Amino acid sequence: MIETAAETRVEAIARLNDRCRQGFDRTARITVTRTCLATLSTGTLASEAVAQARLLQELRRHSFTADCPERDRGSFMVDQTTVFFRIDYFDAALEWGSEDPANASLTTRVLTLMLREDL
C-alpha cells in the first residue's frame, strides 16, 4: 500500500499531538479552564493541585477511536464529570495559527481541558 502525503501528514500531526498530551513536548501548553478546575476541586491550593494531577493522569490514559485520526480532541470522565480536551495549533509566538501543524518547529500546541459549558 502506498501512503499518500495526506496520510503521512495526519500521522505526523497525531504523533506530535500524542507527545503534547503525554507531556513530552516542552513547547506545548496545557491549560485548564477555571470552570473545570473549580468543579473538580474545593478551591484550596492543595485540592486544585490534586485536581490538576488527576486531569493529567486521565488525559494521558485516554484512548482514541478511529473517528479522530489527528488525536486532537476527546473527552473522559473524572469522578462523575465529563472533561473535554482540544489541541489548537499556534505559531511560536502564540499570536496566529500555525502554518503547518505537522512541523514541530513551526507549531506551539495548546491543549485545553474544559467542561461542556466552556465549549
For cell 485548564, the residue is 32
Cell digits for 10?
A: 495526519
Counted domains in the chain = 1
At residue 119, the pLDDT reads 87
Q: pLDDT (tens digit, 9 = 90+) per residue, 50-84?
A: 999 999 999 999 999 889 999 999 999 999 999 99
pTM of the model: 0.90
Which residues, 6 or more positions from 111, have their beta carbon under 8 angstroms from its beta carbon? 20, 21, 28, 29, 30, 31, 59, 85, 86, 87
Residue type, 113: L
Strand partners, 113: 32, 85
Q: pLDDT (tens digit, 9 = 90+) per residue, 33-51?
A: 999 999 999 999 999 999 9
Distance CA 108, CA 87 (A): 10
Q: Which domain holds residue 104?
A: 5-118
Strand partners, 31: 112
